[in-house]
Amino acid sequence: EIMMTQSPVTLSVSPGERATLSCRASQSVSINLAWYQQKPGQAPRLLMYGASTRATGIPARFSGSGSGTEFTLTISSLQSEDFAVYYCQQYNNWPLTFGGGTKVEIK
Amino acid sequence: QVQLAESGGGVVQPGGSLRLSCATSGFTFSNYGMHWVRQAPGKGLEWVAFIRYDGSNKFYADSVQGRFTISRDNSKNTLYLQMNSLRTGDTAVYYCAKTGGILHYFDYWGQGILVTVSS
């Protein structure tokens, strides 16, 4: 099973600032990596797939990068609606696995 | 627009059974693989099971293998999860999710349904 490790666990950021979230895989997943955003009481929402392709309707302030074992999700200028928990997920191997999440909170 | 709606959750005793349903609309259900993903209270996401678009192939997480069965009825645009021998550790919100094509990321999710296993 591929282990996905996200860091930091919590990220405190002021509105308008840049946020950088990391995700590391225990073995290579190529670019088969997705990012999701989840707000309290809501289902997750797909942000990014293929490590760097934005899903439909996702604003350009979200960007993804990386391949192999190291991945990054960057939010260029945090808006109030971006404060949430973010999960990475690999789909290169079975079983599909998620990272433990990064909570982006208001500083 | 794509819609997924889970039903069938509730409270069940350890060792009991429950069947979840996921009614879908807004896309050609028979063309897509489907998944179940769960989230224990206050915890992260855990993938549970997958079924191929035609039902010919299924995969399960080790934690549910042999106890849960995923199935689908393409004539009813509905996905199912039969859960047997339930344990307290199965308590979670269960989401059905649609694959983003042939790759196994989840482009649409249902709103989730709570399953509580408790005596």
Which of B44, B50, B110 faces A100 most closely, judged by CB atoms?
B44
pLDDT tens across B46-105, in order?
A: 999 999 999 999 999 999 999 999 999 999 999 999 999 999 999 999 999 999 888 999
**A78, pLDDT greater than 90:** yes
Q: What string of DSSP letters covers chain A?
A: ---EEEE-SEEEE-TTS-EEEEEEESS--TT-EEEEEE-TTS--EEEEETTTEEPTT--TTEEEEEETTEEEEEESS--GGG-SEEEEEE-SSSSPEE---EEEEE-
Q: What is the pLDDT of residues B2-14, one digit of tens each?
A: 999 999 999 999 9
A36 touches chain B (CB under 8 A): yes
Q: Is A44 within 8 Å of B103 when comparing Cβ atoms?
A: no
Residue B38 confidence (pLDDT): 98
| Reported confidence tier of residue A50, pLDDT bands at 50, 70, 90 | very high
B69-85 pLDDT per residue, tens: 999 999 999 999 999 99
CB-CB neighbors (< 8 A) of A94 in chain B: 59
Touching check for A2 and chain B: CB below 8 Å? no
